[in-house]
Structure 1
Amino acid sequence: MWLVRTTWIVRAVLVAYAAAMLLVVAGPWGHALNRLTVRLYVQFRYTWPIAPDWALPEHYGLLLNVLLFVPLGVGLALVTGWRWWQVCLAAAAASTALELLQLVLPRDADPVDVLTNTLGAAVGALVVTACVRRPSRRGP
C-alpha cells in the first residue's frame, strides 16, 4: 500500500517539476540565471575559495544544467521502472524539445544543454538504479 501512495506522490512531483521546467524555459529569467551563475562563481572562487582556478562562470552554468535534470531522472526511473538508458533517451528527447522551444521564443538554445541535461537525468536514474532493488528475473 505504501508503494501506491509513494508512486502517486512521485508522479505529482514529476508533473509539478515538468510545469516548473516549462515556466523556466518560457519565462524571461535568462538575465537572472546568468547573474546566479556569476554569483556562484564569485562565492566559490573568492568568498569560499574552494573552486579550482580553471572554473569559470560558464562551468557553473553547465553544472546547473546537470543538476536541473537530476530530479527528472529520479522521477522517471521511479515512476516508469525504465532502465537508466531508457530514462536518458527520454530526457534527451525532453531536453531537445525544450531547446527547440527556446528557438521559437526566441531565446538562446544550445546543443550543449541537451548533453548536460541528459547527463543530469542519467545521474538521477543511476542513483535510483543503485538504491532500489528490483526483483531478479532469474530464479532463486
Structure 2
Amino acid sequence: MEAPNEVRSRAAYTLLLVGAAGFAVLLLGPWGWQLNRLTVRLYVFFRYDVPIAPAGALPEHYGVLLNVLLFVPVGVALAKLSGWSWWRVTLVATVGSAAVELVQAALLDREGSVWDVATNGLGALLGAVAVTGVRRLRARR
C-alpha cells in the first residue's frame, strides 16, 4: 500500500498534467467568441434568472472573475508540487500568463490583455496563499 504522501503527490501531478492539457486547449484554441458568450450567459443567469449579482455587475466582470478562477488551480498545483513560496508561484504563473497572452496576440485571432495577465496572477496568488496557509496550519500541529 502506498503512503498517503505518495498518493497525494501522484494525484497532484495527474491534476497538473490534466490541467496543462486543458489549459493548452482553452488558452490556445480559437474560443474567443465562445468565451464571450459564456460571460454573457453568466451575466444573464446571475442578473435575471437567479438575481444575486450586484446592480453594477457587467458581462466584463464575469470575464475577470473567470480569469481569476482559471489560475487558482495553477497556484495550488505549483505551490504543492514545487514547494515554492507564494510570491515565487505568483511570479512564475504571471510570467506564464504573459507568455500565453503574447502567443494569443501573435499567432491566434485573439486579443492579448495586460488585464488578463493581472487577473491570472491574482488567481495564482490566491491558490498559492491557500496552500501556504494549509502548510502553516499543519506545521503548527
Letter in structure 2 aligned against 1:122:
L
Aligned-pair CA distance for 1:42? 0.5
- TM-score for both structures, normalised by structure 2: 0.91
Q: Is the 8 A contact 1:26 1:105 kept in 2?
A: no
Q: Is 1:109 aligned to residue 112 of structure 2? A: yes
Where do 1:117-136 residues align within 5 Å? 117-133=120-136, 135=139
Aligned to 2:26: 24
Structure 1 gap ranges (5+): none
1:3 paired residue number: 5
What do the CA deviations read for 1:3-37 (whole angstroms, capped 9, x no partner)? 12211210121122112111112212111111110
SS in 2 for 1:49: coil
Separation of aligned partners in 2, 1:124 and 1:83: 11
Match of residue 12 from structure 1: 14
After superposition, where does 1:1-140 map in structure 2 within 5 Å?
1-106=3-108, 107-133=110-136, 135=139
Runs of 4+ in 1 over 4 A off after TM superposition: none
Q: Quick check: 1:84–1:126 contact (8 Å CA) kept in 2?
A: yes
Structure 1 contact 44–51 (Cα < 8 Å) conserved: yes
Query: How many residues end up aligned between the 2 structures?
Result: 136
For 2:28 and 2:76, locate their aligned partners in 1 and report how far apart those are by CA, in whole Å: 23
| Sequence identity (%) | 52
> 1-side partners of 2:60 and 2:69: how far apart?
14
Cα RMSD (Å) of the superposition?
A: 1.3
Once residues 39 and 139 of structure 2 are traced to their aligned partners in structure 1, the CA distance between those partners, rounded to angstroms, is 42
